[in-house]
Amino acid sequence: MRFRNHTLDIFERLGMRVVGFFTPDLGGSTDQLAYILEFDDLAHLERAWTAFRSDPEWKRVKAE
């Protein structure tokens, strides 16, 4: 729920573009989710993840 209700909005706000979502068909846990994000370049990736980790909304929902 946290991913759907909060994380995706934060990704969008920070320019982190979701390319796709994947779940395992065989093995693994049914609550596993893998995703691919698109960035303009390595600098964009680094800026976006730094901003995400320090984002006040992310910190709040993660603590909940």
Q: Please give the pLDDT value at position 9.
A: 94
For tokens 């984002």, what's the residue? 55
- Give the domain ranges of the chain: 2-63
Asked if 10 and 58 touch (Cβ cutoff 8 Å), the reply is yes
> pLDDT of 11-24, one tens digit each?
999 999 999 999 88
pTM (2 d.p.)? 0.82
